[in-house]
Structure 1
C-alpha cells in the first residue's frame, strides 16, 4: 500500500482488535475453494476458508459485553495499560454477511464497501486465506510460480481500492511468539505491512494504548498507537475500475516486526524507516500507456477478467533468486500481454525487474528505497519464509487514493513524469463522498489458482 497511513481508513466503527477469545458470537469461517496446479489443465481443488481481520471485530470485556474500545478511544477502566488490556478484553466472532458485507460462493469472494448492520455501520474489510486446518493462514512461496485470479471491479469507482496482496504475517497470527495473544489466526490477528500501520489495536500481544508518534489522522474511527506493525508486502493487485498497480515493497527486517520512533518511517522520515513504503510499482497509466486498462480499454474493467502474475527466478527454479515479476491478462478467451513503458529516459519495460525499478526511480525523481532495502532479492527471501494472502476493500483518509488513480502528489505539475497515475479528478476520493455516494461498491475475487509457470491459465 502506498500512502503513509493508507490502512487507517479500514477501521470499523466502534469495533477493535483483541487477544482473548470471546464467546458471545460463534466464529464460523466462510468457505472459499482455491486450486493448486501442477501443469496446464491439471489443477486440484482445495477447500479453504477466509477469516476477518481482528481490527474489525467486537472487542469487549471478558466478564461481559462492555466495549473495550469505541470510535478511537480505549476504556481506561478495562485498559489502564497494554498488558492488562490484553487480559481484560476478548475478541469475538463475526457475522460476516450481516455486519461486514462479506460473502463467499464456491470459488468467489465478494466484499461490499458499506454495510448497515443492526448495531453499526461497517466501512470496508480485510480478510485472510486460512489453510486446511482452518486455524492458520495458508503460506505461499511463489518463487518460480504464478498466481492467478479473476476480478470483477466494475463497481469500484475512483477513490476505492479492491486489493489482493501478500504480507509476511506469522502463520499462526503471532500466538506462538506472543503468548498473550490467545486468539491467533482463527480470529485474524497479527497484521503487518510495509506502511508499518499504527492503527493495529494489538501488536506483539499488547494493546496499542501508548501515545502516538505522529498525528496525521483524518478518520475519526481510527486510533493511533505509539507502535507500528511492519513486514514485507507484495501487492499483486491494487485497483479500481479506473486504474491498477502491481507493487513489491520490502523491509530490512524479516517477519512481523513492531516498530517505534524513526524505524516506523512516519511523516518526514518516510525514507528513513525499516520498510520501503513507496515500493516499485507498475501502473500502466503512470508508465505512459493511458489506453491499456479501464472502462472499454484493452483490458476492459466493465467486465470480469483474469489476472496472471508470474514470479521468475535467476535459475528458473524455486531455489533461485527472484529476478522478475511478469503480468498477463486474459479476457474473453484472449491472452493480453502487459503494456510497455513509454516514459522519457526509460526503455520499453513490460515487467518488474531491478533494472526497471532503478530506471523508474531515476525517470520520476523518486527516492529509491526499494533498491536500498534489497530489491527483488529481498522480496524473494520473504516468499522463502512464507507469505499470507490478503484481500480487502478500502478507501483512503490520508491521500484519497490519488496515488493510484489520479495525480499525486498534488504539489507537483501533473505533466511531470510519474505524477499522473490515472484519469480520476484531483478532487475525487474524499472518503465522506465515496462512502455516501457509492455504499454498494463491491469487489469480487474468484477462481484463485497457483502453481508452476504456465499452469494456471
Structure 2
C-alpha cells in the first residue's frame, strides 16, 4: 500500500482508545443466499459474506501509512496493544480485485493467489452473515448442514475448508469496547488451534512479543491466541478430505496466553483439543473411497451432508453421532466404513469411534479429555458461525491432511498415512508458484431438519 511519511503520521495520532474503522476503501459485502429446510420444504434466506479482518489493510487512522507491513508491526506507532488499536484502522475490502473472492447468487469462489494493485494476496477466509453487522449463527443439534463443493482445482498442499466456530455474532464488538469494527469488518475469529497470528484480539492489537514468521512473509505470532470450539465440516483438496470436531474447555471466543494456548511441547496442556477426532476415509482404511475417479469423484461437484444426531432425537438431547452422507450424479452415498485392525466398523463419529481410533493409532485422548461429543454438542447448542476458507500450511505443509504425518513415524503404522500426496508436497512457496490459479467453489448452502436438505 502507498504511505505517508512517518513524521506526519506520528503528529496526528488520535486519542480514541479503540480499534478503528478506515474510510479509504468502502466496505460492501458480496451477497450469498442460503436455505433453511424442514419437511415442508426449503426457504431462501438473504445472506452476505465478509472477509476476515486479518486479511485487511491496517493503516494509521489519519492517513494511509501502514501500521502492519509484510509481517511486522510499526513499533513506533504500535507501542502496545491498546495504543495500536487506537492509532490504527482496518479498512474495507475490494473482494474480487484484491482478494480473489467472487460471490453470485448461491455460490462463492475463493481463488488462491490474487495479484492486486498494491499487493499479492494468498488465500482468504470469509464468514456468512445474516445482516450487515451480524454473523449468521446456527444451532445444529438434531439438524444437518449441506453444501455443494467443486474442489477439482485444489492440488496437494491446499485446504478448502468449511467449518463452524463459536464466535460472537457481533465479532466481539459488544463485549470489548476497544473493538469498533465488529462483524461488519470480520473481527472476532477464534478456533481450536488458538491461533497467535490474529492481529487484533478482544479489541487490542496482538503486538506484544510479536515475532515475524521465518517462512511466511505475511504472518507472524503474538503473545496471545484466540481459542474456541471448532467443528470442521470439510477440510479437503482433490486428494484427501476430513471431518473433525475439536472441543475446548472454554465457552465462546477466549483469549489465551502461556500454557492455556497449548503451544509446542504444551500442546496437550491447553484449553483446546488441537488434534480433534477426525474421520478421513483414507486414514481410516479405505483408500479408494474419495479422490479423483473414485467412489466420490473429486473431479466433479460433490454434495456434502453432515448430520448432528442426538441421543433422544431432539435439539435438547446429547450429541451422540456426527454422520456424513454424500450425493453425486443423483446417487446418495453413505460414508466409508473403517477398516483398521483393532477397531469395529464405523461410518460416523461417536465417542466409541474416537476412543477406538485413538487407541489404534496410539494418539492422545485430548478430544475425550475435553468433553468429547457432549462438549461438542454444548457448543452446537450455543450457536456457531460458518467459516469458508482456502489456505496453505506454513507449519506442516498440509501433510496432516493429505500425506504421511507425523514424519518421525513409519508410514506403515496405523493412522500415519492420511492421503496419497508425497511427503515433499505442500511446501507453500512451491504451491503458490505452481498453482496460483487454484480455487474452490462453495454453493447451495442448506441448513435444516435431518434428511430435508438433500
1:220 Cα deviation after fit? 2.8
1:396 Cα deviation after fit? 0.3
Counterpart of 2:191 in structure 1 is 193
Give the SS at the match of 1:63: coil
Counterpart of 1:116 in structure 2 is 115
1:305 Cα deviation after fit? 1.2
Is the 2:177–2:203 contact (alpha carbons within 8 Å) kept by the matching residues of 1?
Answer: yes
Give the SS at the match of 1:355: helix
| Separation in structure 1 between the aligned mates of residue 37 and residue 88 of structure 2, nearest angstrom | 42
Is the 1:171–1:185 contact (alpha carbons within 8 Å) kept by the matching residues of 2?
Answer: yes
Aligned pair partner of 2:134 in 130, 136, 142: 136
Counterpart of 1:290 in structure 2 is 287
| Separation in structure 2 between the aligned mates of residue 301 and residue 38 of structure 1, nearest angstrom | 29
Kindly indicate whether residue 396 of structure 2 is the aligned counterpart of residue 389 of structure 1.
Answer: no
Give the SS at the match of 2:63: coil
| Separation in structure 2 between the aligned mates of residue 218 and residue 385 of structure 1, nearest angstrom | 37
Counterpart of 1:380 in structure 2 is 377
1:26 Cα deviation after fit? 0.4
Give the SS at the match of 1:307: strand
Give the SS at the match of 1:119: coil
Is the 2:213–2:220 contact (alpha carbons within 8 Å) kept by the matching residues of 1?
Answer: no
Counterpart of 1:39 in structure 2 is 39
Counterpart of 2:9 in structure 1 is none
Give the SS at the match of 1:171: coil
For structure 2, the 5+ residue unaligned runs are: 4-17
Distance 1:121 1:215, change over 3 A: closer
Give the SS at the match of 1:32: coil
Counterpart of 1:332 in structure 2 is 329
Kindly indicate whether residue 49 of structure 2 is the aligned counterpart of residue 50 of structure 1.
Answer: yes
Is the 2:247–2:370 contact (alpha carbons within 8 Å) kept by the matching residues of 1?
Answer: yes
Measured on the aligned residues, the alpha-carbon RMSD in Å equals: 1.4
- Counterparts of 1:40-439 in structure 2, within 5 Å, are 42-131=41-130, 133-211=131-209, 218-439=215-436
Deviation string, structure 1 residues 161-193 (Cα, Å, up to 9, x no partner): 000000001110001110110000000001000
| Separation in structure 1 between the aligned mates of residue 183 and residue 115 of structure 2, nearest angstrom | 26
TM-score by length of 1: 0.95
1:77 Cα deviation after fit? 2.5
| Separation in structure 2 between the aligned mates of residue 144 and residue 410 of structure 1, nearest angstrom | 39
1:215 Cα deviation after fit? 8.5
| Separation in structure 2 between the aligned mates of residue 313 and residue 245 of structure 1, nearest angstrom | 21
| Separation in structure 2 between the aligned mates of residue 337 and residue 414 of structure 1, nearest angstrom | 28
Give the SS at the match of 1:31: coil
Structure with bigger RCO (C-alpha 8 Å, 6+ apart): 1
Give the SS at the match of 1:382: helix
Deviation string, structure 1 residues 375-419 (Cα, Å, up to 9, x no partner): 011111111111000000000000000000000001100000000
1:72 Cα deviation after fit? 1.5
Is the 1:304–1:331 contact (alpha carbons within 8 Å) kept by the matching residues of 2?
Answer: yes
Counterpart of 2:10 in structure 1 is none
1:216 Cα deviation after fit? 7.6
Is the 2:71–2:212 contact (alpha carbons within 8 Å) kept by the matching residues of 1?
Answer: no
Deviation string, structure 1 residues 319-343 (Cα, Å, up to 9, x no partner): 1011100000000000011000000
- Aligned residues between the structures: 439
For structure 1, the 5+ residue unaligned runs are: 1-11
Q: Which moved more, 1:69-78 or 1:366-375?
A: 69-78
Is the 1:217–1:398 contact (alpha carbons within 8 Å) kept by the matching residues of 2?
Answer: no
Counterpart of 2:450 in structure 1 is 453
| Separation in structure 2 between the aligned mates of residue 453 and residue 113 of structure 1, nearest angstrom | 34
Counterpart of 2:26 in structure 1 is 26
Deviation string, structure 1 residues 90-113 (Cα, Å, up to 9, x no partner): 110000000000001110110000
Q: Which moved more, 1:155-164 or 1:133-142?
A: 133-142
